Structure 1
Amino acid sequence: MPETRGIRSPERELTAPVSLTGADGRLNRDAVGWTRHPLHDTGGIGHGRTAWGRNKRWEYWAITSPELIVAVTVATLDYATLSQVWALDRRTGAEIDRSAVTPLSRGVELPGTLGKGLATARVPGIEVDLDEIEGGTRIRARTDRVDLDVVAERPAGHEALGVVVPWSDRRFQYTVKDVARPARGTVAVDGHRVELPAGESWAVLDHGRGRWPYSMRWHWGAASGIEHGVRIGLQLGGLWTAGTGSTENALSVDGRLSKIGDELDWRFDPGDHLAPWTITGERVDLVFTPFHDRHARTALGVIHSETHQCFGTYCGTVIDDDGKSQSVDALLGWAEVVRNRW
């Protein structure tokens, strides 16, 4: 991949607070763009009668470490909630999955805007607390088999990618993808307690607030770690942003974001998700090699979904905003393809 000097994303960078919605509940066009720090007030999502049934709000945290991978989801979809705690034992390949769907918003509380309150779930078999604390986010989750208490640290100057994706004035999404957050704390699975090792344990946030079409497909890839002496985070997306003028692609180097504005080309074998994937663009040239496929299907009322979330390692190069090629050799993360009707 050639070196390129001073590439910048064509998308607009926002640097001042803005409301995602107008007084009528529709998209505020002044909110369309991307940010390095959360600046969007999303309190209009989930309130009033505008497009009831299409409002989606969630917090998803994934924690990777040498021994365990854990994911925690707290979501409300207007007509139902979804709470989940999932764990993978990397030594054995065994999965542990506890999920619960409750009607309306029963048992789940989410703040209107990121960082403006506690997110909780108290649903059958699952308890979750997500709380902003000084220097990071505390993630606590409990099921009959999993008990975790982890802090996703926020180093000084750390930047997180925020993006507004506008399908229309009535359908739009605000997402924050925050990669390469150092993780510390403990995770216990079936009574086996693991202290997360420093420098090898990472947390990634997917925060969402928006009003969605019923049917959607997407790719999401993320990875975090130390490579060549620097803290690297990859944030990669596709399908769901096509044609909107927005993308959710970025490189994080020691907490500094380089926004990548072009749509990426995702190639994988739909008959063998554990075969290598390639993800390429003008500034991205990556091969993803999976070691585990988390395959899930849901058919529950109006909710139908199929997910292949593959965990593995990335290698290749990504070019930052200054034209410098950042290489990665074995960066731990995931790549997924999701088909949702919700």
Structure 2
Amino acid sequence: MATHEQEITEPVDLCRPDGTLNPAALGWSRTPLHRANLRGWGRTKRWEHWCVTTPTHLVALTVSDLDFLALNTVYLLEYGPQGREFECTSLVPGGFGVRLPDTVAGSPGADEVVVGPARPSGGKVRIEIRDETSGTRLRARCLTPARLPLEVDLLVGRPEGHESLSVVVPWSERRFQYTSKHTALPAAGRVRIGAGTLEFGGDEAAWAVLDHGRGRWPRTVDWNWGAASGRTDGHTVGLQFGGRWTAGTGSTENGLCVDGRLTKIGEELDWRWSTSDPLAPWTVRTPSSGQVDLTFTPFHNRSAHTDVGLIANRTDQRFGHYDGRIRTDDGTAIAVERLLGWAEDVHMRW
């Protein structure tokens, strides 16, 4: 195995009755098995983030409940020099009307999340995430800053036996995070922007990634997150990488999903990137095992800065392609060539 961490194979509660971390929940699983039974208020963070990519465009939906406020976002990017970029963000003081349910063992995320008015005007966002028999339905509506209506309707598939990475990261018994990352999920549907339509999953494949999070966080934290999905070297590959925020906890959120099978990597990654040149290549490597040796070359930088008193955020999320090599648990070496995804550098005070 590529990790020393305990693999969890049976459903388990994240928290004890007093709200502290359940020691039996420490570990990782190939399917969601933790019930995130968080209680009370105070540094509690819950979110659902979906990103669906194609070779020419992508869309991301985020619903987040951060205790004292909620941030709900729809983001659309068309690649290339003439590509369009739209972002609709709704900030809800007190998080009124935004309540994300506890995770249920066996579910890929929240079974049903609905936020915002059915017909949102400027500054409002409508997002729906619903579990269906054939997968997860993603719908969204908003009015962009350019006054163009934007509507999302996508279905993310759930292939039989497709594995994901769920892991508990502990800072202490009162500060901990349950994260469930799902990569390389097939998706199809469309996004309407103004009078135009962008197709997902038609002639070009579309791939979805889910970041499902539940936990209680420190006041200030820095992280790297990288993910990618697609076909390369005859395989369907999903990359899931994290960094900095897990250092010293004994847990990592690093994994490879190859043809639906997860390789969990317990080693902290070596991330190298430029803070001055947003489009300079990154390197992401496992310094000891050699299981990951990749270069990430960005083509677009999404820079976001938020400062609303209690929350301050700096995010530099670069979209681009991964190239290099990875190796699975069974020793299979895979050449990674232009695998589409992202890598980000985040500072958060919340």
TM-score normalized with structure 2 length = 0.92
Do the aligned partners of 1:317 and 1:328 also contact (CA within 8 Å) in 2?
Answer: yes
Give the residue type in structure 2 aligned to 1:121: V
Q: Which residue of 1 aligns with 2:241?
A: 236
Provide runs of 4+ in structure 1 moved above 4 Å. none
Aligned to 1:143, what secondary structure does the other structure show?
strand
Query: What is the CA distance between 1:227 and its match in structure 2?
Result: 1.2
Q: Which of 107, 113, 124 is the aligned partner of 1:119?
A: 113
CA contact (8 A) 1:93 1:292 kept: no
Tell me, in whole angstroms, the C-alpha distance in 2 between the residues paired with 1:274 and 1:107. 38
Contact map agreement 2:169 2:251 (CA 8 A) in 1: yes
Counterparts of 2:269 and 2:199, CA distance in 1: 37
Q: Does 1:330 align with 2:324?
A: no
Shift of 1:110: 1.6
Q: Deviations over 1:114-166 (max 9, x none)?
A: 54531121165211110111131111011123211101111111111001000
The one-letter code sitting in structure 1 at the alignment partner of 2:15 is T
- Counterparts of 1:117 and 1:77 in 2: how far apart (Å)? 19
Name the structure 1 match of 2:120. Answer: none
CA RMSD of aligned residues (A): 1.3
Deviation at 1:112, TM superposition (A): 1.2
Partner of 2:269: 264
**2: distance between equivalents of 1:171 and 1:326?**
37
Match of 2:309 in 1: 301
User: 1:94: how far off?
Assistant: 2.5
Who is 2:46 aligned against? 57
Q: Distance in 2 between matches of 1:8 and 1:240?
A: 20
Q: Does 1:192 align with 2:196?
A: yes
> Is contact 1:241–1:247 with CA below 8 Å preserved after alignment?
yes
Contact 1:130 1:138 survives alignment (8 Å): yes
- Are the counterparts in 2 of residues 221 and 236 from structure 1 also a CA contact under 8 Å? yes
Q: How many residues align?
A: 331
Structure 2: distance between partners of 1:125 and 1:191 = 20
Cα distance in 2 for residues equivalent to 1:118 and 1:197 = 23
Q: What is the CA–CA distance in structure 2 between the aligned matches of 1:341 and 1:31, rounded to whole Å?
A: 26
Rounded Cα–Cα distance in structure 2 between residues aligned with 1:231 and 1:324? 13
Alpha-carbon distance, 1:289 to partner? 0.3
Q: What SS does the aligned partner of 1:109 have?
A: coil
Contact (CA 8 Å) 2:55, 2:340: kept in 1 or not? no
Alpha-carbon distance in structure 2 between the residues aligned to 1:331 and 1:312 = 8
Cα-to-partner distance string for 1:149-199 (whole Å, 9 max, x where unaligned): 101111111111001000000000000010000011111122311221345
**Aligned equivalent of 2:167:** 163
For the 8 Å contact 2:164–2:183, the answer to whether it is kept is yes
**Where does 1:67-106 land on structure 2 (aligned, <5 Å)?**
67-91=56-80, 92-106=82-96
- The CA deviation string for residues 7-53 of structure 1, in whole angstroms up to 9 with x for no partner, is 4311110000000000000000110100000000112x2x33xxx33
Q: Is the 8 A contact 1:53 1:77 kept in 2?
A: no
Equivalent position amino acid for 1:266 in 2 = W
**Contact residue 110 and residue 120 of structure 1 kept, 8 A:** no
Which of 285, 288, 295 does residue 280 from structure 1 map onto?
285
* Distance (Å, rounded) in 2 between the aligned partners of 1:189 and 1:110: 28
Shift of 1:107: 2.5
CA distance in 1, matches of 2:195, 2:24: 50
Alpha-carbon separation, structure 2, partners of 1:109 and 1:136 = 22
Q: Deviation at 1:323?
A: 1.5
Q: Deviations over 1:54-97 (max 9, x none)?
A: 00000000010123211110000111011000111114233101
Choose from 237, 257, 261 the match for 1:252.
257
Higher mean displacement: 114-123 or 76-85: 114-123
2:284–2:293 CA contact under 8 A, matched in 1? yes
TM-score, with length taken from structure 1: 0.94
The amino acid of 1:28's aligned partner reads: N
Opposite residue 246 of structure 2, the aligned amino acid is T
Which position in structure 1 is the counterpart of 2:210? 205
Say if 1:316 and 1:329, in contact at 8 Å, map to a contact too: yes
> 2 CA distance for matches of 1:8 and 1:185?
36
Distance 2:295 2:281 in 1: 7
Amino acid at match of 2:207: W
Displacement, 1:336? 0.3
Contact 1:141 1:148 in 2 (8 A): yes
Task: Give me the whole-angstrom Cα distance separating, in 2, the residues matched to 1:238 and 1:229.
Answer: 28
- Aligned residue in 2 for 1:175: 179
